[in-house]
Amino acid sequence: MSESKHRNIRSYVLRKGRLTVAQQLALDELWPHYGIERGKTVLEYGEHFARPADVILEIGFGNGESTWQMAQQEPDKNFIGIEVHEPGVGHLLMALEEHAIENVRIACEDAVPFLQHRVACGSLAGVRIYFADPWPKKRHHKRRIIQPEFVSQLAHCMTQGGILHLATDWQPYAEHVLEVMQFSPDFVNLSVTGDYCERPDWRPYTKYEKRGERLGHEVRDLLYQRA
C-alpha cells in the first residue's frame, strides 16, 4: 500500500501568510522563551512552566487574542497554545510580552501528532477549540477536526472531570460536533438541554466573534466533561 494512504487528513491548509517585521522579530527573540520545540518525547510541563498548575490546551488559536486574555484572567492555570500559522504565533508572542504573561507556552505544529507524541495520558485539565475551520463543503467534511478518532485521542490526554470546550459560529458545524460527540463514551454533554451551553466566563468575547455577529452568525458553545 502506498504511503499516501497512510497519511493523516489535515484539518487545515498551511497558508504562507506574510510575517510583519514585528512578528518576525518576536519569533526570533521571544520564541526561545515561550516556544515548545518539536520532538517525539512526552513533555515535562515542569521544564516549561515556572510552577505546577492545571494545564489547558488551546488548539488553533489564530492570532492568540483569546489565548492571552484567558491566561491573564486565569493566572492559576498553565496554557499551551497550538497554531500552525507563523503570523498568528508571532502576534501572540508580542501580546505575551506586552502584557507580561508567563503562564503560556506555544507549539507551532499540527495538533494531531502533538497530542499523540507530546502529551502524557490524563495530563490535561481542559482542551479549548474555538472557531475551527468548519469546512462547509460536503466533500471537505472529512477535514473537520472533530472526528471520532480525534475525540478519542483528546479523551486519552485529559484527566477525569476535565472540560472540553468548543465554540463555532457555523450552525452546520455545531450540529456535526453534536453528532460526533453523542457517540463518544468518554464525554458527557454539560448542556441541560442536551445541545448548547451559554458562553462561559473564561471564553473572551473577541473581535472575530463580534464580526461574525455583524454578519448574522450565531455563536454556539459546546461543553463536555471527561467521564
Q: Which of 48, 49, 226, 44 is nearest to 118 (CA)?
A: 44
**Would you please indicate which residues are annotated as catalytic (active-site) residues?**
133
Q: How far apart are CA 139 and CA 9, in angstroms?
A: 13
Q: What is the mean pLDDT of residues 116-141?
A: 92
Domains: count for the chain:
1
**Per the domain annotation, does 135 fall within a domain?**
yes
Between 15 and 143, the higher pLDDT residue = 143
- Residue 15's pLDDT is what? 62
Q: How far apart are CA 9 and CA 195, in angstroms?
A: 27
Q: Which of 25-39, 127-141, 200-214 has the highest mean pLDDT?
A: 25-39
Q: What is the mean pLDDT of residues 3-30?
A: 73
CATH number of the domain bearing residue 180:
3.40.50.150
The range of the structural domain enclosing residue 146 comes to: 14-226
- Residue 22's pLDDT is what? 96
**Per the domain annotation, does 5 fall within a domain?**
no
Enter the pTM of the model: 0.91
Residues sharing a CB contact under 8 Å with residue 192, sequence separation 6 or more, in sequence order: none
SS3 assignment, position 167: strand
Q: What is the mean pLDDT of residues 3-16?
A: 52
Q: 70: how many CB neighbours lie within 10 A of its CB?
A: 23
**Per the domain annotation, does 116 fall within a domain?**
yes
| CA-based radius of gyration for the chain | 17
Counting Cβ atoms within 10 Å, is residue 178 exposed (0-12), middle (13-18) or buried (19+)?
middle
**Per the domain annotation, does 35 fall within a domain?**
yes
- Residue 84's pLDDT is what? 95
**Per the domain annotation, does 170 fall within a domain?**
yes
Residues sharing a CB contact under 8 Å with residue 81, sequence separation 6 or more, in sequence order: 57, 58, 61, 64, 67, 92, 104, 105, 106, 107
**Reduced to 3 DSSP states, what percent helix, strand and coil does the chain have, rounded to the nearest 5?**
35, 20, 45
**Per the domain annotation, does 19 fall within a domain?**
yes
- Residue 208's pLDDT is what? 76
**Per the domain annotation, does 3 fall within a domain?**
no
State the average pLDDT for the chain: 92
137 confidence band (pLDDT: 50, 70, 90):
confident
**Per the domain annotation, does 32 fall within a domain?**
yes
Q: How far apart are CA 108 and CA 147, in angstroms?
A: 22
Torsion of CA 61, 64, 70, 75, to 10 degrees: 110
